[in-house]
């Protein structure tokens, strides 16, 4: 195995990256950072294609694609578009999801299903389709006795995968499930040269959050050892690392990106 030059570790030139849920927030930040790193990017959106298209237009090599990732047909549309436009795929960032608020007592089955489908089912379907495409691309390995690790999946989970929040039982469950899917997929897909890891963000800032949720922001700032909210770029840079050759011997892990909030003693 050739050890890459340090200066090339975060160079994604000639790599094709799919980012789901890329119209705003964390997803948009991930698209921008991979674009800066030289990647060709598919910026996925479901209901906000205009925003994803505007983002893609600002990048050097990016295209916006609309698809409903809770359906197999929608996922096939996304993967086919990536291959048609760029000829291959190399990295999948499963970021798409929703996070509504419902108490457990008042939550309907429809509420539950919509979150599980958007956050967990979509990631499963995308992971499966991506892995099948990678397997098709990797039939001609130079050395059958050595697994050539050239593809990566990064799942965006949450610190709520391990530390539940009120009115978020459906979201907590979906992210906990995605964390275990990460580990299971890492175990099964390594033989195909695919590493699978997760990034677990804490509270990420957005325009107006201090006005919309002042008490929550203040609680966070008091709890965070590093003393600030996260940014989309904080999460994006963790994705860059895990998708890069710098993480070539890392698979099945969850990288917490939360300014240290989860370091607090819980009793």
User: CA-CA distances (angstroms) from residue 39 to 11, 196, 205?
Assistant: 8, 19, 25
What are the tokens at 159? 């610190």
What are the tokens at 148? 């050539």
Active-site annotation holds for 99 = no
User: CA-CA distances (angstroms) from residue 90 to 132, 178, 185?
Assistant: 12, 20, 16
Contacts of 178 (CB under 8 A, 6+ apart): 94, 119, 120, 123, 155, 157, 161, 198
| Residue whose pair of structure tokens reads 């799942």 in the numeric block | 155
How far, in Å, CA of 255 to CA of 47, rounded?
29
Of the candidates 52, 171, 192, 224, the residue annotated as catalytic is: 171
Catalytic residues: 171
């Amino acid at each position: 195995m050739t050890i890459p030059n340090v200066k090339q570790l975060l160079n994604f030139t000639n790599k094709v990256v799919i980012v789901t849920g890329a119209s705003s927030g964390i997803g948009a930040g991930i698209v921008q950072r991979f674009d800066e790193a030289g990647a060709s990017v598919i910026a996925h959106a479901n209901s906000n294609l205009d925003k994803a298209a505007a983002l893609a237009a600002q990048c050097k090599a990016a295209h916006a694609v609309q698809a409903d990732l809770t359906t197999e047909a929608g996922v096939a549309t996304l993967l086919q578009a990536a291959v048609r436009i760029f000829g291959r795929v190399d990295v999948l960032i499963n970021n798409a999801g929703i996070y509504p608020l419902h108490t457990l007592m008042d939550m309907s089955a429809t509420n539950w299903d919509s979150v599980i489908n958007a956050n967990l089912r979509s990631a499963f379907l995308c992971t499966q389709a991506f892995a099948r495409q990678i397997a098709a691309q990797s039939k001609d390995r130079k050395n059958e006795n050595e697994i050539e690790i050239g593809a990566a999946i990064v799942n965006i989970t949450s610190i709520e995968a391990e530390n539940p929040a009120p009115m978020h039982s459906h979201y907590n469950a979906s992210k906990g499930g995605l964390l275990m899917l990460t580990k299971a997929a890492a175990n099964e897909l390594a033989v195909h040269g695919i590493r699978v890891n997760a990034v677990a963000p804490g509270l990420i800032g957005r325009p107006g959050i201090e006005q919309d949720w002042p008490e929550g922001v203040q609680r966070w700032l008091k709890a965070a050892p590093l003393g600030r909210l996260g940014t989309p770029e904080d999460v994006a840079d963790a994705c860059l690392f895990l998708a890069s050759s710098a993480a070539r011997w890392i698979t099945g892990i969850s990288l917490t990106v939360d300014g240290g909030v989860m370091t607090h003693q819980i009793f």
